[in-house]
Every structure is written in structure tokens, then in C-alpha cells.
């Protein structure tokens, strides 16, 4: 270990807490161990997360459970087509005395302690709202009432469903790039989990269910520091750096590495993307994963474990193939990991 004794014990203490967060969420959300693990990684990498999935698979429950477990101030808002940026900042109404009143909106209500901001159905909101969110995510600040508000601990979770396309606004690439991960939440594949989700009355009322989750396991104010210690404490060797560079190269030029995806012209599949910011996010997430796996070094498995969620939405492919995007990008990433040798 290169760290001095104190950070070492901090890290192991926080690792235990991270595992407890996972087990607490796992009590109320069944069959989503991988998603929970990735959410924990995102939390300790201080990254924002976009969840995608069908309706009713438990995205909202998952995020509410996570917010409870993290602790700190929590706000949420539903995306609608008439939602305007101002609605996030202030709330105008007539007071009981008949005078117009301006109250802080969801973003400002909790002040600068806001730790989890949860944006439901983000693709129903207009681009103006997206751009506000972009700044919140990128700079953790926003301007209102002639001053700048800072949210040093905020972490944005958003979700969207892919079922409806009417009255929705696709997120701009710049906004998607700000998300550390895009997580696909699928139905649990485990039969017993499915059975109890349907038949166990415990899962019928979400509010009482969430009451089982222990609150405030993590201290939002400390998370930033812990995240920094993790990033310093977990090392990457030159061999791993070379491996990640090779992965990056292979994603951008798959045809040069002999990667083949069925019936696709590999020379034109990847148009761009996999930005340097994306790669740095990738390494942040990989370091956190190594730490959760109780290692002080990043190994290729860590990179592989977080790669699809961190990188898939940053790879821009030819519009011809856009409709088959999920499968093609998945195959591309699988091909990259099959072809690029490590160490």
C-alpha cells in the first residue's frame, strides 16, 4: 500500500459502508445486483446516472432506496412537456394574505446541502430544462436570483423509459456525456425473485417497503473526500494504462482491430465519441470498482465491468445503424474485449 495508515483505514471503513448500502437496497429491490453495484460505484465516483428500462421494473423504487441509503437532502421532479427551467428554481403563488409569493423551487428548497436530485422521465422535459440540468451536472452550480448557488454534494439520477416516443425530447449528446453511466434496468431474470415481486404483499406498497431501508449510511458531505481518497489510493499500472489506451483505440477504429459485428460495415459504424472525458470517467469508475472489490490496483476486470455502462452512450454510430444501436454497440464492446489482449 502506498497510502499512509489513516486513509487505509478510512477506505476499509467506507468499503464496509458501501457494501451495507448494497445489501440494504438489495433487500427491497430483487434481482438487480449488478445495477445496484453500478449505482454504488457511481455514487463513490461522484457521477450522475441515467437509468433506462421498461415501465414498472423498479427504476424509481431503486433510486428512492438509494437516496434513502445515501442520506442527506433529497429532491425529485417529474419531467413534463410544459416544465420550464424556472419551475426547478422557484415556485410562484399567491400567499394566504393575497400577496404574490416566490418560494424556492425543488432545486433550491434544500439549499446547498442537496445530495440527491432525482429527475423522473427526463426525456419528457424540454431542451431548456436539459441545458439547466447540464450545468447543474457539469458544474454543480446554477444561477438564480442574481447569485450563484453551489451544490457541492449533488448527484443527479435521471430515468427515462424507451417505450413512448411521442412528446419526448431526446437528450442532447452533451447532456448524455455528462452522465457517468447509462444503466439498463431489465426485469429480474431469477424466477424466485420474479415470483416474490408479484406475490409477496411486502412489495405492494412502495412507501412501507422503502421504510425498511436504513437511512443515512453514507454521509453526503464526506463522500467527496472519500471519492478523492479512493481515486488516489487505487493505482493504475503502466500495463493497465496501455490496456485502456488499446481499448480506446479499438473502440474508435474497430475495423483496424479485426472486430466484426454481424452485417455491419465496420469502417463506418463508429462515427466518433468515446471522448477523453468518457475515458476519464471510465477510469474513475474502474478505480471505485477495484476499491469495492478490496484491491488497491485496477485490473482489466474492473475496466470491463464498468465499460458498457460508462462508454456505450458515448459511442456515436452511423445513423443507418441507430435503430439497432443497443445490440450493435453491445456486440462492438464485446468484440473489443475479446480482441484486445491484457496484459
Phi/psi of residue 45, each to 5°?
-95, 0
Distance of CA 272 to the CA centre of its chain: 22
How many CB atoms neighbour CB 62 within 10 A? 23
* Closer residue to other proteins in complex, CB, 16/239: 239
State yes or no: residue 337 binds other proteins (CB under 8 A).
yes
* Closer residue to other proteins in complex, CB, 56/343: 343
Stretch that binds other proteins, among 66-74, 94-102, 229-237, 266-274 (CB under 8 A): 229-237
In angstroms, the CA 46 to CA 15 distance is 15
Nearest to 179 by CA among 89, 45, 61: 45
Site for other proteins in 296-335 (CB under 8 A): 296-301, 304
- Binding residue for other proteins (CB under 8 A) from 23, 205, 237, 280? 237
Grid coordinates standing for 101? 409569493
Site for other proteins in 265-284 (CB under 8 A): none
Torsion of CA 316, 320, 322, 328, to 10 degrees: -80
In angstroms, the CA 84 to CA 92 distance is 13
State yes or no: residue 286 binds other proteins (CB under 8 A).
no
Nearest to 310 by CA among 15, 42, 40: 42
CB of 71 to other proteins, least distance (A): 32
- Binding residue for other proteins (CB under 8 A) from 81, 102, 232, 239? 239
Torsion of CA 301, 22, 285, 248, to 10 degrees: 50
Compute how many residues bind other proteins; rule: CB under 8 A.
Answer: 20
State yes or no: residue 340 binds other proteins (CB under 8 A).
yes
- Binding residue for other proteins (CB under 8 A) from 60, 168, 231, 235? 235
State yes or no: residue 8 binds other proteins (CB under 8 A).
no
CB of 303 to other proteins, least distance (A): 10
Residues facing residue 156 across a β-bridge: 117
CB of 338 to other proteins, least distance (A): 4
CB of 339 to other proteins, least distance (A): 8
Dihedral sign, Cα of residue 216, residue 220, residue 225, residue 230: positive
In the block, which residue shows the cell 449488478? 34
* Closer residue to other proteins in complex, CB, 1/84: 1
Give the binding site for other proteins (CB under 8 A): 235-240, 296-301, 304, 337-343
Amino acid at each position: 500500500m502506498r497510502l499512509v495508515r489513516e486513509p487505509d483505514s478510512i477506505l476499509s471503513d467506507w468499503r464496509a459502508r458501501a457494501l451495507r448500502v448494497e445489501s440494504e437496497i438489495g433487500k427491497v429491490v430483487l434481482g438487480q445486483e449488478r445495477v445496484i453495484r453500478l449505482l454504488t460505484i457511481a455514487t463513490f465516483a461522484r457521477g450522475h446516472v441515467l437509468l433506462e428500462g421498461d415501465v414498472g421494473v423498479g427504476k424509481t423504487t431503486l433510486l428512492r432506496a438509494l437516496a434513502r441509503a445515501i442520506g442527506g437532502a433529497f429532491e425529485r421532479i417529474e419531467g413534463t412537456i410544459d416544465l420550464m427551467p424556472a419551475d426547478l428554481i422557484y415556485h410562484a403563488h399567491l400567499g394566504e394574505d393575497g400577496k404574490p409569493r416566490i418560494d424556492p423551487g425543488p432545486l433550491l428548497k434544500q439549499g446547498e446541502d442537496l445530495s440527491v436530485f432525482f429527475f423522473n422521465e427526463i426525456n419528457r422535459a424540454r431542451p431548456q430544462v436539459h441545458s439547466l440540468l447540464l450545468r447543474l451536472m457539469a458544474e454543480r452550480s446554477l444561477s438564480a436570483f442574481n447569485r450563484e448557488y453551489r451544490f457541492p454534494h449533488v448527484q443527479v439520477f435521471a430515468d427515462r423509459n424507451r417505450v413512448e416516443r411521442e412528446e419526448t425530447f431526446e437528450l442532447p449528446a452533451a447532456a448524455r456525456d455528462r452522465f457517468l453511466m447509462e444503466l439498463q434496468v431489465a426485469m429480474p431474470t431469477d424466477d424466485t425473485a420474479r415470483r416474490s415481486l408479484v406475490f409477496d404483499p411486502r412489495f405492494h406498497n412502495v412507501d412501507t417497503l422503502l421504510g425498511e431501508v436504513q437511512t443515512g449510511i453514507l454521509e453526503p458531505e464526506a463522500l467527496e473526500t472519500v471519492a478523492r481518497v479512493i481515486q488516489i489510493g487505487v493505482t493504475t499500472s503502466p500495463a493497465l494504462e496501455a490496456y485502456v489506451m488499446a481499448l480506446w483505440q479499438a473502440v474508435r477504429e474497430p475495423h483496424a482491430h479485426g472486430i466484426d459485428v454481424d452485417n455491419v460495415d465496420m469502417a463506418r459504424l463508429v462515427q466518433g465519441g468515446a471522448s477523453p472525458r468518457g475515458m476519464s470517467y471510465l477510469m474513475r469508475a474502474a478505480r471505485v470498482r477495484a476499491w469495492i472489490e478490496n484491491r488497491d490496483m485496477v485490473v482489466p476486470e474492473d475496466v470491463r465491468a464498468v465499460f458498457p455502462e460508462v462508454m456505450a452512450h458515448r459511442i456515436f454510430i452511423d445513423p443507418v445503424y441507430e435503430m439497432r444501436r443497443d445490440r450493435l454497440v453491445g456486440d462492438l464492446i464485446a468484440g473489443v474485449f475479446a480482441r484486445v489482449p491484457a496484459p
